[in-house]
Amino acid sequence: MNEALYNAVFCYGENKVDPFAACCVDFDRIIGDMKLVGYELTPFNIAHHIFLEKVDELIKAKNKIIAETMDLPNKDDYCREKYGISFKDIDALDPRNDLEFDIKSGQVIFYLTNDALHMQQEYNLVFKKELDQFVEETGFKFVSL
């Protein structure tokens, strides 16, 4: 990583602002993966890689729900009972397109896109545990727009 660039972006005098200060992830693996595919090692790209890994996990969690309900005669009733929303609403969740991230004031934030704001309750019902764990592990902050 270009240390001078990193310091210019995230360090102000003696007050350092580090978007990864609370991040407990395997940086060696992440940086190794990024080097393997030729990504430039910048704070934004590292945050992007961490974020995309979480999006993949959310997609896997959604696919697990879909797989477990595949053969049920009444998917909607099962999903309403177990998750609090219908199967159709779960199927409509698309973390790949509904979630975005950015670095603001030295902190990594993630949020629902404008097109997905109406689904915040559904995301909280289905993915709250995963998103809370992600916030705890990374120090990234979920914000509502």
Residue 35, amino acid: K
Task: Please report the pLDDT score of residue 15 as a whole number.
Answer: 62
Q: Is the confidence at residue 22, as pLDDT, over 60?
A: yes
* pLDDT bracket for residue 104 (50, 70, 90): confident
Of the listed ranges 5-14, 42-51, 83-92, the least confidently predicted one is 5-14
How is residue 85 written in tokens? 């929303």
* pLDDT bracket for residue 43 (50, 70, 90): confident
| Residue 12, beta-bridge partner list | 15
CA 39 to chain centre: 19
